[in-house]
Structure 1
Amino acid sequence: MSMQHGARAVLYDGSPFQPDLKAFVRLVGEQKVTNLGISPRYLQTLASAQPPVIPREVTDLSNLRCLSSTGMVLSESLFEWVYDQGFPSHVQLANISGGTDLAGCFGLENPLTPVYVGGCQGPGLAIHIEVYDQTIEGGKGVRGKAVPVGEAGELVATSAFPNMPVKFWGDVTGEKYFDAYFGRFDNVWTHGDFIMLHPKTGGIYFLGRADGVLNPSGVRFGSAEIYSVVETFFSEEISDSICVGQRRPGDDDESVMLFLHMKPGKKFSQELVRRVKAAIGKECTPRHVPKYVFETPEIPTTVNLKKVELPVKQIVSGKIIKPSGTLLNPESLKYYYQFAKVEELGRPKSKL
């Protein structure tokens, strides 16, 4: 629709960091981009560079109105960096759910309402979203149940929305499309995100992917809560992290595993583990504290640098998987197989 009204699309193919970290930012200014879609990993790279890359100091961004971040949850520290340092104050920030074209309609910016750190201002126009109880397994004919406002659960759309597709390309029978979005709750679109609606602001807080929800001792929370603590308090030492649940056949409960990727020159130690666990327990709850914390030489990501939790979760839970073609670094998964027998580990083998 936007193209019919004279909008111009600027498409970029290649690394946004070549030939230097400022190249893509300069392009945004030169092309007078008004709406920019980018990933949290890109923003994190700019913010953590030494010295940090400050886009508003690199080029003229007076034409930029909206910055859309998609692919993974945007941490509170990056929200603050965008507004306090990175971009001009007039720019609206939308942390869009998921990583697909469809995802954009569920959590968007709204120029009529205030922005609160950590969340999207609300749903898109004509999108009736609700938060369903994630403990309901679902299935054919099963009806979901909404949780009270302020509690976390599954993001669902309970009625049709403007850009809802009718099927997948090449899915002649529509079976794949139905199984992907309508197979869990009867006549309800289940998107696969774990969210919370703020009871006071009405904002949408994306806490992670629903299939990556952590559930130790029946306490459910999103990995984004752990990442927020790591990025807020340990950004000088830790480059990135990935947090997954381990539940193998025969395990009575799920164990939370946190893997830390250290910055160059910084060393992983048990003293760091102690500090990380203490910070998570203080900022979240004692139930959020991971049972295991290990160092990792590499974190698996998609080609657009979105970290992928599900393959790691499956591997540490004892499964052997075939890496997806969307992975940028499929060889990185080999490192995680040793943790399926975590009790037998001495010192984790660090070579990939």
Structure 2
Amino acid sequence: MPESPAPLWEPSEETVRRAHVTAFQEFLTRRTGATFSAYRDLWKWSTKDLDGFWGAVWDFYGLDVLFGPHGRVLAEERMPGSTWFPEVAVNYAEYVVSRGPDQAVAIVGAGEDGRVVELTWRELRGQVASLSAWLRERGVGRGDRVIGYLPNIPEAVVAMLATAAVGAVWASVGQDYAPHAVGDRMGPLGATVLVTADGYRYAGREVDRAGAVREVVGQLPTVTDVLVVGRLGAEQLEVPGTATHDWAEVVAGEVKPSFERVGFDDPLWVLFSSGTTGRPKGLVQSHGGILVEELKLLGLHLDIGPADRLFWFTSPSWVMWNIQASALATGASILCYDGAPAHPDARRLWRLAAEHRVTVFGSSPGYLEASRGTGLEPAAELDLSALRSMACTGAPISPSTHAWAVESSGGLPLYSMSGGTDICSGFCGGVPTVPIWPGELSVRNLGVAMDAWDEQGEPVREQVGELVMTRPLPSMPIRFWDDPAGSRYRESYFETYPGVWRHGDWITITARDSVVIHGRSDATLNRHGIRMGTADIYNAIEHLPEVAESLVLGVEEPDGGYWMPLFVVLADPAASLDEELRDRIRDAIRAHASPRHVPDEIVQVAGIPHTRTGKRLEVPLKRLMQGADPARVVQPAALDDPALLEPFLALARERRGR
């Protein structure tokens, strides 16, 4: 691949000196005598000596003080099915709530209506203690399930921690999910307690969810108790057939904290895949695995510690909610925002970051692109003096948007991250001691034996390959829910390369060890034997002001043909796609991507369908165009706007009728 431009950002000597990862390296030198001249050396050691690395994370973050010596680390190495830290008993919540002083703020809740609530560490500990005692009174204990149907509010974090405190298993979705979509995910869990709210506020309006809550409970016959957070000021929500309880009453009072210590690999929570192509996968992750992984990700890579405040725009449906909540484990505070990201305008999230003295701000490439499109200059318009860094994930970021974010924030680093719900973390991202290049992820993350492989299973550099992980990670799913034989788990990651995790992303690892994400490997454009990622096409045309968003498909046809349509959303909804703009789009792709990947057709659409976490619906739409049954390849309830599917369904029907 061509030489990359100069770095967007480089760390100062002071930044390197003060970084938590530098302190970790110094800790390792004192512990082992080893020295590391560069981050790459540290990464290599961390992936070769998994016992040494993860044992050091345990001790560096004081887990030994609370839970004792770690003993054996990786007792059995195999994928899937590794055994981690078999000699310890832990509790995720016990560690998390111990991390801050009584009077310091732990959680800030900001509503779209301007209401702000603050929960101190003492209040957090008290509410977790009260709620966990209430759960025990209802017979909830180790291995039982508690589910949340909640907005992004502090109460959701408290409920998750209280569930973990009693050794039960947490699962949640946001209240924007329709009741049947909640039932699809939560039904198999057999939970007895539902924590919910009567509604939320979004884009300037109140959204009453009382009826939806009743429908949800109707689909969950095992639920006997419903705990309700009053958000809209209405009368207490009652759910027929259950005992309904008021949140404020349950968390009031003084209760002595009590934590059920469990095995390192005991289940902590269930996260769900997007479910766009079928039944969502329930990914079960462990107390200990999540604890050590999030301390590494948030502490060493995002450089978060007790002096920080993390704000990530997210929802209880998305893995970033779990990651943000886990930032409490570093001693940092977090900001939970319940509302629309662009109401009344695209400055909303930036304004929240300024008002609440956020030090680390996380969002998505889509939000950053939208901010850029409005002409926003955050550092010039707002007081971002507290902000130290930014991060984004969810999709590849274009080099130009990456550059805009760094420049318009006053030269702050923007760490692009790539990982997945599957591991509740990142495979690759950034670290404050390594430069950042536009559109690239600076490093492979510590402890992640990540590589790029060709079809023969050989490592490749400076050329595209499959993202694989060759050694286990503590936060990998311990299993899928409702998959007793483990067949669905193995099929999802281990069929292509036995014993090696294939994630399904198409990447390039550069000569300087940075990573470029090209998109999903099953959405790869493979024309005339020449492969290109979908992100390369998007990056080629994103500078055209008339184009707001695009989606490209590479459709293999039964007769051996290959059809490559490009769908575009115009920045002006009233405009029409004319031949002059089509020509400029083709020219941009020829010049900035590849002359062999100029689309066969360019089609104007009103909008691009996304998953609820903002990913373009590339693979399901490709399968639709290949003639697959829509009911088998796409679930409308898993989309941000199901109505946007219709033009694609119509085109697929038209193609089948030819």
Q: Tell me the TM-score normalised to structure 2 length.
A: 0.47
Alpha-carbon spacing, 1:342–1:39, altered in 2? closer, same or farther (3 Å) = same
2:476 pairs with 1:187: no
**Inter-partner Cα distance in structure 1 for 2:567 and 2:424:** 28
For 1:57 and 1:171, how far apart are their aligned partners in 2?
A: 52
Determine the C-alpha separation between the residues in 1 that align with 2:335 and 2:579: 47
Give the alignment of 1:246-261 within 5 angstroms. 246-248=555-557, 250-261=558-569
1:108 aligns with 2:408: no
More helix by share: 2
Where in structure 1 are there 5+ consecutive unaligned residues? 137-143, 346-352
- Tell me which structure has the larger Cα radius of gyration: 2
Following the alignment from structure 2 to structure 1, what is the Cα–Cα distance between the partners of residues 468 and 341?
Answer: 33
Measured at CA, do residues 169 and 203 of structure 1 come closer, stay the same or move farther in structure 2, by a change above 3 Å?
same
In structure 2, which of residues 602, 607, 613 is the aligned counterpart of residue 298 of structure 1? 607
In structure 2, relative to structure 1, the CA distance for the partners of 1:183 and 1:31 (3 Å cut) is farther
My pick for the range that moved more, 112-121 or 7-16, is: 7-16
Q: CA deviation at 1:252?
A: 0.7
- The answer for the alignment partner of 1:141 in structure 2 is none
3-state SS of paired residue (1:328): coil
The one-letter amino acid paired with 2:451 is E
In the aligned structure 2, how far is the partner of 1:11 from the partner of 1:171? Answer: 33
Distance in 1 separating the partners of 2:622 and 2:453: 23
- The answer for the alignment partner of 2:486 in structure 1 is 174
The correspondence of residues 1-352 of structure 1 with structure 2, limited to 5 A, is 1=295, 2-49=327-374, 52-85=375-408, 87-89=409-411, 91-100=412-421, 102=423, 104-133=425-454, 136=455, 145-199=457-511, 201-232=512-543, 234=544, 236-248=545-557, 250-264=558-572, 265-322=574-631, 323-324=634-635, 325-340=637-652, 341=654
Q: Structure 1 residue 74: deviation in Å?
A: 0.5
CA contact (8 A) 2:453 2:460 kept: no
Inter-CA distance 305–121: structure 2 relative to 1 (3 Å threshold)? same
Residue 349 of structure 1 corresponds to: none
* Deviation, structure 1 residue 343: 10
Taking only the aligned residue pairs, the percentage that are identical comes to 31
Residues 130-162 of structure 1 show CA distances to partners (whole Å, capped at 9, x for unaligned) of: 1112xx4xxxxxxx5124311101100101124
Deviations 1:214-264 (A, max 9, x none): 1112111100000001102x1x1111100011223x231322110111111
Q: Which amino acid aligns with 1:111?
A: P
User: Secondary structure at 2:337's aligned position in 1?
Assistant: coil
SS across alignment from 1:271: helix
Aligned-residue offset at 1:29:
1.8
For the residues of structure 2 that align with 1:130 and 1:308, how far apart are their CA atoms? Answer: 26
Cα deviation per residue 1:52-107 (whole Å; 9 max; x = unaligned)?
Answer: 1222234322332332211111011101111222x121x22122125537364211
Amino acid in structure 2 at the alignment position of 1:262? L
Distance 1:192 1:268 in 2: 33
Tell me if the contact between 2:419 and 2:428 (Cα under 8 Å) persists in the aligned partners.
Answer: no
Residues 320 and 180 from structure 1, CA distance in 2 versus in 1: closer, same or farther, beyond 3 angstroms?
Answer: same
Output the CA distance in 1 between the equivalents of 2:576 and 2:410: 36
How big is each residue's C-alpha offset from its partner over 1:265-299, in whole Å with a ceiling of 9 and x where there is no partner?
A: 44311121112112211222211211221111221
What TM-score results when the alignment is normalised by the length of structure 1? Answer: 0.86
Q: Which runs of 5+ in 2 are unaligned?
A: 1-294, 296-326
CA contact (8 A) 1:40 1:73 kept: yes
Query: What letter matches 1:161 in structure 2?
Result: L
More strand per residue: 1 or 2?
Answer: 2
Name the CA shift for 1:173/1:29 in 2 (closer, same or farther; >3 Å). Answer: farther
Residues in 2 aligned to 1:267 and 1:22: alpha-carbon distance in whole angstroms: 29
User: Larger relative CO (CA 8 A, sep 6+): 1 or 2?
Assistant: 2
- The secondary structure found in structure 1 opposite 2:346 is coil
Residues of 1 paired with 2:650 and 2:477: CA distance?
A: 41
Compared CA separation, residues 57 and 104, structure 1 to 2 (3 A): farther
- One-letter amino acid of the structure 2 residue matched with residue 303 of structure 1: R
Question: What count of residue pairs does the alignment treat as equivalent?
Answer: 328
The alignment partner of 1:106 has SS state of strand
* Of 273-282 and 176-185, the range deviating more from structure 2: 176-185
Asked if 2 retains the 8 angstrom alpha-carbon contact of 1:39 and 1:304, the reply is no
User: Aligned equivalents of 1:92 and 1:31: distance in 2?
Assistant: 19
- 1:96-135, Cα deviation, whole Å (9 max, x unpaired): 12553736421111222221111000111111111112xx
